[in-house]
Structure 1
Amino acid sequence: MRAFVTGGSGFVGRHLIAALKARGDTSLALARSPEAVAAVTAAGAEPFEGDLSDAGRLKEGMAGCDVVFHSAALVKSWARRADYYEANVRGTERVLEAAVSAGVKRLVHVSTEAVLVDGTPLVRADETRPLPERPIGDYPSTKGEAERRVLSVNSASFTTVAVRPRLVWGKGDTSVLPQMVDAVKSGRFKWIGGGRYLTSTCHVANCVEGMLLAAEKGRGGQAYFLTDGEPVVFRDFVTAMLESQGVAPGNGSMPFGLAATVATLSDLAWGVFGLPGRPPISRTELLLIGREVTVSDEKARMELGYEGRMPRGLGLKEMAVDFQERAGRAA
């Protein structure tokens, strides 16, 4: 198989490229900077210089490819809506346009459970739950719109599938975990309501397993949740992740009601006045990490043969070993 990968220099993209190489597949990875070129090359892909702004350039890279894995997205906790829309919606539109023009047969889009965020609880949610008309936050709304567009263009000649991993984690995380570690070290970390609620999670290796299966077996026009299996207590899981990085989160906590007030005011202040930096917490973040968010991956297990082969315990051990090795090299 020959694959074209967007977002290849990111956390999920690097692991996907390595898995493709291990299987004997070849991949081209979109790279828009020298740092991205180095990252995708190190992971095992041939870099293709360009970005999501040029459908014609994307078509050149996709020529001769069997499948496109679209994992590029703007996932910052706070950004201008225009930036989210350009990256997540318009970027996806160009990827779809290029893939169809290049004659690619299959496309796997990396979506998120956040597309369902509307203020109501996400408890054992599955793919039958419709996307909300009014998602809370620009990230959920633009990712939801991107997913809609991906699945709507599915046809007999162009199969499109979306995967929705929940809370991707693991060794080499360059997004969520570093922010948590920084918050702990700076004294800003607080549990919401004590943190003793359930969450689904998805190790990056399990995410990649699901992506590869979706490319092979996914039904066109369908979305699939991906998780590590049974939910875990959020506080227990996050504590274990942080301790693997040599930090302890402590017992500081904020009531959910107070956090909701702070989040609402923050969204208003940053949205209206364009304040610099990132807000203390947004409503989107609060709804994704401040109470139970659990989803069912039964559909992926039944239709794709997905197993989620990386157990949490082994994933956490890998993170601890990696941290110790990096600390040893830095000493």
Structure 2
Amino acid sequence: MRVFVTGGTGFIGEKLIRRLLSEGYEVNALYRSEKKKEALALSQVNWIRGDITDEDSVDKGMRGCEVVFHVAAYAVAWEEHPGDFRKYNVQGTVNVLNAAIANGIKKIVFTSTAGIFGPSLKGIITEQTVSALPHFTGYERSKAEAGHVIKEYIEKKGLHVVIVNPTRVFGPGPLNQSNSTTLMIKKYVEGTWHILPGDGTAIGNYAYVDDVVNGHILAMLHGRSGEQYILGGENISYREFFDALIRITGRKHWLLPLPLPVMLAMAYLLVGVHKIYRRFLPPVTPAHVRKFNYNWEVSCEKAKRELGYTITPFEEALKKTVAAISSLTEVEIR
């Protein structure tokens, strides 16, 4: 069976392609950067140059395919051009859906984010959680909007679309804004990360990238159309995160607890410096700092029950990531 993957040179997309090839699938994949494509050395893939805003390249990529994995997204932290979130994540998704209809695609797996459900204000987050707060980032807003568009296409046009919602994904791969947790791990191992957000007690959910890739394939095989499936890992606090790093690496670097108002002031300062000098992208934005105020505990029980999704224990996944750290390089997301 031939499948089409958008975002094939990205953090999740590249690993998804390798997994699909290993299981005997034929793969068409969309790419923008020739340099990134060549670096992957995946000659078995039928590569199509273009992006999801280009209807013709999307249509060309789907020809002869039965399944689509729509992984591509505009996922930058720095929101200098807010309109780009809708351009890529909403209109780009519309282009994918229209091409799927034109090409008779049987199934689509759409990669969203668990961030659309909001923080865990009233218990653990599930697929039924409705965010009690406005979305923090343009990425979350656009992914939520794309989800509404998808539901309309399912109801009105009969498309079979399964939505997966990864949490904070980490693991070996390019160190860009889509893999920021691993970049933080690398900086800690090297002794250059010294920030503990708030008092370190805020809880997040961390998903190993191989588990997330597996979840995509399970969603293709077993997911119900119109349903969402959270693909996550363990719920742990920042302190627990760094304590695990200390145990694994044997390196105990100093960490400075930064009150959230201080972090917010620093974020605004970094944004201001960028606007004046244009020399670097702010490593953190005010919107992301505000998220540190909240717990983000999620449940993956639905994915486990309906898809057969499994979770790699956090420390085991962290060991694998640390072992690969020396080979990882920082790249810009473009």
Normalising by the smaller structure, the TM-score range is 0.7 to 0.9
Q: What is the 5 A alignment of 1:76-91?
A: 76-79=76-79, 80-91=81-92
Farther off after superposition, 171-180 or 74-83: 171-180
CA distance in 1, matches of 2:85, 2:247: 33
**What's 1:94 paired with?**
95
Question: TM-score, normalized by length of structure 1?
Answer: 0.84
Assess, with a 3 A threshold, how the Cα gap between structure 1 residues 302 and 270 changes in structure 2: closer, same or farther: farther
Question: TM-score, normalized by length of structure 2?
Answer: 0.83
Deviation of 1:46 (Å): 2.4
Q: What is the 5 A alignment of 1:240-319?
A: 240=244, 250-260=254-264, 265=268, 276=278, 277-279=280-282, 281-289=284-292, 291-308=294-311, 310-319=312-321
Assess, with a 3 A threshold, how the Cα gap between structure 1 residues 10 and 282 changes in structure 2: closer, same or farther: same
Assess, with a 3 A threshold, how the Cα gap between structure 1 residues 316 and 133 changes in structure 2: closer, same or farther: closer
Give the secondary-structure state (helix, strand or coil) at the position aligned to 1:201.
strand
Task: Report the number of matched residues.
Answer: 322
Farther off after superposition, 294-303 or 146-155: 146-155
CA distance in 1, matches of 2:194, 2:219: 36
CA distance in 1, matches of 2:310, 2:78: 33
**What's 1:169 paired with?**
170
Check conservation: 1:244, 1:319, Cα contact below 8 A.
no
Give the secondary-structure state (helix, strand or coil) at the position aligned to 1:213.
helix
**What's 1:207 paired with?**
212
Q: Which blocks of at least 5 consecutive residues in structure 2 are unaligned?
A: 330-334
Deviation of 1:254 (Å): 0.8
Give the secondary-structure state (helix, strand or coil) at the position aligned to 2:284.
coil
**What's 1:105 paired with?**
106
Deviation of 1:325 (Å): 6.2
**What's 2:332 paired with?**
none
Check conservation: 1:69, 1:109, Cα contact below 8 A.
yes
Give the secondary-structure state (helix, strand or coil) at the position aligned to 2:60.
helix
- CA deviation profile, 1:238-297 (whole Å, cap 9, x unmatched): 56459978976522121124334555x5699699x7884444633431244454211111
**What's 1:146 paired with?**
146
CA distance in 1, matches of 2:86, 2:14: 24
Q: Which blocks of at least 5 consecutive residues in structure 1 are unaligned?
A: none
Farther off after superposition, 196-205 or 18-27: 196-205
Q: What is the 5 A alignment of 1:171-186?
A: 171-175=172-176, 176-177=180-181, 179-180=183-184
Letter in 2 for 1:226: L
Letter in 2 for 1:254: L
CA distance in 2, matches of 1:326, 1:115: 29
Check conservation: 1:121, 1:292, Cα contact below 8 A.
yes
Assess, with a 3 A threshold, how the Cα gap between structure 1 residues 158 and 128 changes in structure 2: closer, same or farther: same
Assess, with a 3 A threshold, how the Cα gap between structure 1 residues 107 and 323 changes in structure 2: closer, same or farther: same
